[in-house]
Amino acid sequence: MRAVPVPIDPEIAARMAGQPAGEPITRETLVASRAGMAGFFPPAAEVIGARPVRAEERLIPGPAGELEVTIIRPAEPRPDAPGLYNMHGGGLIMGTRHMDTGRIVDLVEEFGFVAVNVEYRLAPEHPYLAPMDDCYAGLDWMAGHAGELGFDAGRLFTIGGSAGGLLSASMALQARDNGGPAIAGQVLLVPMLDYRNTSVSTHQYPTDGPWSRHIDVLSWDCVLGDLVTGDDVSPYVAPANAADLSGLPPAYIELGSAETLRDEALAYATRIWAAGGEAELHIWSGGTHGFEMFHPDTRLAHDALAARSSWFRRMLAR
């Protein structure tokens, strides 16, 4: 049966129609693509402007040298503030922490989070477990410095989009298996979870959209190398490989129906439920990859962000 794409939300489709498609990313164009992507996202101070939020750039210890992090928190300290640990997207081969600043600042202002946004090493220069090792080191540092940073270590959430969603799931698995840090909830936005690319949704978008099968295959090939054709891949790199999804923190999983990664996210949520865990899954009809970030003024994005805020409010009220 031919894999027919799901119709895109009309508002989003109208905006996408006015955007140039661009050439497919390859290994040869990766450096230029990174530079082009980085140019779209200004530093935190510029994004914050006059809002009652402040940002601090810091270097922290990592497994292979220092890690750059941006700490974003309310201008006025809040008692019992929750913590938020963010990992950016880009397929583990592109992107910087600055691409998520807008999302983080909104959550800091709305809920009083103290947030840490980490810069991690990228493949293919640093393949396989390097991004996960960096992110786990940053998470461990954040939890260990809760008093200094000014948040409640018992209310620490992880969040990320696309590859960041993968990393958020990875942090939850590693924290469970290593006996900490304690994670109150994991937010997986358009998560990249399975390197096999065998689902229906991955065949529905072979080259089209903001995250196609083509770029997903390239990303996994850069991360895994020869391991990409086998089954011996750590679940910390590909959470879909986790044999056991019990004992994990509550998960919030969000993406659109017109999305390459749709089916692997659905499968992951289903397996969390089967293990007796908590997962709230939102698949927004007609939503494309990262629609709430790329098209924030659409009705679909507005509703998705409202649902996300509702989940945070309920988790923080526990």
**In sequence order, what DSSP letters do the residues of 262-287 get, joined into one string?**
HHHHHHHHHHHHHTT--EEEEEETT-
What order do you get walking across the sheet with 83-87 strand by strand?
53-62, 65-74, 114-118, 83-87, 156-161, 185-189, 251-256, 279-284
Listed in sequence order, the residues at least 6 apart from 15 whose beta carbon sits closer than 8 Å to its beta carbon are 295, 298
Residue 37 pLDDT greater than 90, yes or no: no
Fill in the amino acid letter for 157: F
Residue 2 pLDDT greater than 70, yes or no: no
Averaged pLDDT, 37-62: 93
Q: What single-letter DSSP state applies at residue 231? A: S
- Percentage of the chain exceeding pLDDT 90: 89
Residue 283 pLDDT greater than 80, yes or no: yes
Instruction: Show the tokens assigned to 96.
Output: 């910087």
Q: Are 291 and 256 in contact (CB under 8 A)?
A: yes
List pLDDT tens digits, range 178-196: 999 999 999 999 999 999 9
Residue 228 pLDDT greater than 70, yes or no: yes
Q: What is the pLDDT of residue 30?
A: 92
**In sequence order, what DSSP letters do the residues of 147-177 get, joined into one string?**
HHHTS-GGGEEEEEETHHHHHHHHHHHHHHH
Q: What is the pLDDT of residue 39?
A: 80
Residue 13 pLDDT greater than 70, yes or no: yes
Length of the chain: 318
Say what the pTM is.
Answer: 0.97
Fill in the amino acid letter for 82: P
The three-class DSSP label of residue 71 is strand
The three-class DSSP label of residue 134 is helix
Averaged pLDDT, 239-255: 98
List pLDDT tens digits, range 108-163: 999 999 999 999 999 999 999 999 999 999 999 999 999 999 999 999 999 999 99
Q: Within 30-128, where are the H helices?
A: 30-38, 44-48, 101-111
CATH of region 59-316 = 3.40.50.1820
Q: Are 235 and 35 in contact (CB under 8 A)?
A: no
List pLDDT tens digits, range 86-111: 999 999 999 999 999 999 999 999 99
Distances in whole angstroms, Cα of residue 249 to Cα of each of 50, 144, 180, 260: 35, 19, 11, 25
